[in-house]
């Protein structure tokens, strides 16, 4: 048989084998569709198929290389250089290398596969991929050991949407050095890669090497027990996919969320009736979405430090100590609080998605003047803050605190003075609060010292960071006191709920970066329990018997596990505002509301304990 015929035979054999695999896969899917489980694929079939396919490809490429007179494989010294380079690259750039040494060989051989094939295809232009990839991976390793997280969609979103204050919180000499070292290290690795690859001048020889290393990677993976296999060891392939997915979720999903909220119909478009107020009572409703306040860092919930002294002294406080936030980012939580959404908007179940817009629209439709008060971050028109601006479109006016959130209190006072005493008013508040970098507190007399807001290597100065965070919670307590003091003599209700928690070394995580590599979700961490309370005045209770009944019901449910999904319906139920969007099962003012039944942290003592942070 002539050589061309052999090559055709190899190609035909590979094509037939691939066809058989595709046919087998289609048959399996069809069997699953009709409910027949007898087509289950044995665990060894796919690795064996891959190995056989690579052997066929390698044989065909080796034959073609010999036919063209080139070297079938690189010299032994070059192969050794490639292996040493791959080991070095994995040590410097691959975070998972030391997680399981038994699987590290998969990453080592797979990197060589991609490096050889990319160089054969693009030559030196392949460095346009490797340089940014190496830079990100080196920086990621440093970030993981400092903050306990990898690059994910939340990290990308927070980076894209970071304010100047947040940037400076992370901008330390150490982090600048890490950034510079990442750039220099990536350049050095690219230079070494170029030196080694130039020693393999023939492209077909590179292809042969790439297929051979792919075969070794697949053999290494086949030797690992299925229970121990981890996709992260398919580095750099899976890592490239993860980075691309993080960018897609942060950018495109964020835009999709904005479009989804914009498309929601206003709940005021359908008939509704307000049965407790007729207008002219001068009622003030305050809806305050706090920022990054954990329930377990409030002394009103049993925290050992007195971070909420004023709230503890309030006789009319109705405090919910077990409130679960919908998501670990602000805009998702805002949607869950202000609309009828049950969970975050990425949930696939349609019944958990929002179907109508902001609850504020309903109060505006019944004569309430709505004013919104934001922190200075919202004034920058970042994409991540567009959601809350959409949900507060009914506002008569928006105000942005120029510095500390305390500066919004005079703005509220001016609004209340300018309006008739009989005007029903709704004040919506969403300011920075305890958001990173924990800078909003009384610097002249901080209750917990020493305090520092730097998030560069936070674990090394955990005491200062935790002190700064507790100071911000204390600051929020004082903020609420100042606002309620403006309302003396008027009927009012103050509803506070935080958007999400904050990682302070709990669960091995710092900051807002998401999760470490423990395989745990946000809702398995202690950061998803957030502050939630309601304050009311005696003047409001005396306006209508329904208010007294609602307050008694609320007080009986304070130990129940609730979620942000209850806020929308509780606001409607408290004022007996009838609308087709109202769900009595989620109204905490009813005798038997449905508790939160979504994902939440384990209730074991280990999860509930907050590390003691002594005051110095």
- Per-residue model confidence as pLDDT tens digits over 563-596: 999 999 999 999 999 999 999 999 999 999 999 9
User: Is 605's pLDDT higher than 90?
Assistant: no
Highest mean pLDDT among 21-25, 106-110, 460-464: 106-110
Residue given tokens 């440093």 in the structure block: 142
Peptide bond into 403 cis (omega under 30): no
What tens digit of pLDDT does each residue of 428-475 get? 999 878 887 788 888 788 889 888 766 666 777 788 888 999 999 999
Those residues with Cβ within 8 angstroms of residue 541's Cβ, 6 or more apart along the chain or in another chain: 547, 548, 551
Highest mean pLDDT among 8-22, 143-157, 539-553, 592-606: 539-553
Please indicate whether residue 154 or residue 116 has the higher confidence score (pLDDT). 116
Per domain, the residue ranges of the chain are: 3-249, 282-608
Under 8 Å between Cβ of 432 and 420: no
Structure tokens at 8: 């055709």
| Planar angle of CA 459, 464, 465, nearest 5 degrees | 60
Q: How confident is the model at residue 530 (pLDDT cuts 50, 70, 90)?
A: very high
Please indicate whether residue 110 or residue 557 has the higher confidence score (pLDDT). 557
Question: Which superfamily is assigned to 282-608 in CATH?
Answer: Alkaline Phosphatase, subunit A (3.40.720.10)
pLDDT at 246: 78
User: Is 36's pLDDT higher than 70?
Assistant: no
Cα–Cα distance between 373 and 432 in angstroms, integer? 11
Q: Which region among 181-195, 417-431, 591-605 has the lowest average model confidence (pLDDT)? A: 591-605
Under 8 Å between Cβ of 379 and 400: yes
Those residues with Cβ within 8 angstroms of residue 90's Cβ, 6 or more apart along the chain or in another chain: 97, 104, 107, 108, 111, 235
pLDDT at 387: 87
Q: Which region among 32-46, 204-218, 293-307, 501-515 has the lowest average model confidence (pLDDT)? A: 32-46
SS3 288: strand
What tens digit of pLDDT does each residue of 254-266 get? 778 888 899 999 9
Q: Is 604 left (phi over 0), alpha (psi -120 to 50) or beta?
A: beta
Q: How confident is the model at residue 168 (pLDDT cuts 50, 70, 90)?
A: low
Q: What is the mean pLDDT of residues 129-151?
A: 81
- CB-based burial label for 127 (10 Å; 0-12, 13-18, 19+): buried
Cα–Cα distance between 401 and 544 in angstroms, integer? 35
Q: What is the mean pLDDT of residues 2-9?
A: 46
Cα–Cα distance between 133 and 284 in angstroms, integer? 54
What is the pTM (predicted TM-score) of this model? 0.71
Q: What is the mean pLDDT of residues 137-155?
A: 75
Residue given tokens 């991929």 in the structure block: 129
Q: How confident is the model at residue 616 (pLDDT cuts 50, 70, 90)?
A: very low
pLDDT at 607: 38
User: Is 328's pLDDT higher than 90?
Assistant: no
CA atoms within 13 A on the CB side of 371: 20
Tell me which residue of 36, 41, 13 sits closest to 25, measured CA to CA. 41
Percent of the chain topping pLDDT 90? 38
pLDDT at 162: 62
pLDDT at 165: 60
pLDDT at 535: 97
Under 8 Å between Cβ of 478 and 525: no
pLDDT at 9: 46
Cα–Cα distance between 571 and 565 in angstroms, integer? 11
pLDDT at 614: 41
What tens digit of pLDDT does each residue of 269-279 get? 999 999 999 98
Under 8 Å between Cβ of 475 and 541: no
Tell me which residue of 581, 588, 585, 389 sits closest to 497, measured CA to CA. 588
């Amino acid at each position: 048989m002539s050589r061309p015929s052999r090559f055709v035979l190899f190609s035909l054999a590979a094509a037939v084998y691939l066809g058989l695999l595709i046919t087998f896969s289609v048959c399996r899917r069809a069997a699953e569709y009709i409910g027949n489980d007898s087509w289950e694929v044995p665990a060894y079939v796919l690795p064996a198929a891959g190995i056989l396919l690579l052997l066929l490809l390698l044989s065909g490429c080796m034959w073609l290389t010999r036919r063209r007179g080139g070297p079938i494989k690189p010299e032994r010294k070059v192969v050794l250089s490639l292996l040493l380079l791959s080991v070095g690259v994995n040590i410097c750039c691959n975070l998972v290398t030391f997680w399981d040494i038994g699987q590290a060989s998969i990453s080592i051989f797979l990197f060589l596969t991609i490096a050889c094939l990319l160089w054969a295809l693009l030559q030196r232009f392949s460095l346009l991929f490797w340089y940014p990839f190496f830079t990100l991976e080196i920086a990621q390793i440093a970030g993981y050991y400092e903050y306990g997280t990898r690059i994910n969609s939340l990290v990308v979103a927070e980076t894209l949407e970071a304010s100047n204050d947040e940037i400076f919180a992370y901008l330390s000499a150490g982090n600048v050095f890490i950034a510079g070292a990442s750039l220099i290290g990536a350049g050095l690795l690219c230079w070494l890669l170029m030196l080694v690859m130039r020693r393999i001048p023939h492209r077909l020889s590179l292809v042969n090497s790439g297929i051979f290393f792919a075969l070794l990677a697949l053999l290494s993976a086949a030797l690992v027990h299925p229970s121990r296999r981890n996709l992260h060891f398919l580095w750099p392939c899976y890592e490239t996919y993860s980075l691309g997915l993080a960018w897609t979720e942060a950018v495109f999903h964020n835009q999709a969320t904005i479009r989804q909220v914009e498309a929601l119909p206003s709940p005021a478009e359908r008939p509704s009736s307000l049965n407790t107020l007729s207008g002219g009572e001068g009622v003030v409703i305050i809806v305050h979405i706090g920022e990054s306040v954990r329930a377990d860092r409030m002394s009103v919930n049993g925290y050992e430090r007195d971070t909420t002294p004023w709230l503890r002294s309030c006789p009319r406080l109705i405090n919910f100590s077990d409130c679960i936030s919908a998501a670990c980012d602000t805009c998702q939580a805002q949607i869950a609080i202000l609309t009828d959404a049950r969970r975050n908007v990425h949930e696939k179940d349609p019944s958990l998605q929002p179907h109508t817009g902001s609850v504020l629209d309903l109060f505006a439709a019944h004569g309430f003047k709505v004013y919104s008060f934001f922190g200075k971050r919202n004034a920058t028109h970042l994409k991540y803050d567009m959601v809350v601006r959409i949900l507060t479109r009914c506002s008569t006016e928006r105000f942005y605190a120029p510095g500390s959130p305390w500066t919004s209190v005079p703005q509220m006072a001016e609004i209340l003075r300018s309006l008739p005493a009989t005007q029903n008013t709704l004040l919506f508040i969403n300011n920075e609060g305890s958001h990173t970098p924990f800078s909003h507190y009384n610097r002249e007399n901080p209750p917990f010292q020493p305090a520092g807001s730097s998030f560069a290597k936070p674990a090394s100065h955990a005491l200062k960071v935790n002190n700064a965070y507790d100071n911000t919670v204390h600051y929020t307590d004082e903020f609420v006191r100042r606002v309620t003091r403006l309302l003396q003599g008027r009927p009012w209700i103050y509803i506070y709920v935080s958007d999400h928690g904050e990682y302070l070394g709990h669960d091995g995580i710092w900051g807002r970066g998401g999760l470490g590599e423990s395989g745990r979700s946000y809702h398995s961490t202690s950061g998803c329990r957030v502050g939630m309370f309601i304050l009311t005045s005696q003047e409001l209770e005396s306006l209508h018997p329904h208010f007294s009944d609602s307050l008694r019901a609320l007080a009986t449910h304070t130990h129940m596990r609730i979620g942000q999904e209850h806020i929308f319906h509780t606001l409607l139920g408290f004022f007996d505002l009838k609308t087709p969007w109202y769900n009595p099962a989620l109204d905490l003012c009813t005798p038997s509301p449905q508790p939160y039944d979504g994902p939440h942290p384990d209730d074991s003592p280990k999860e509930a304990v907050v590390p003691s942070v002594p005051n110095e």
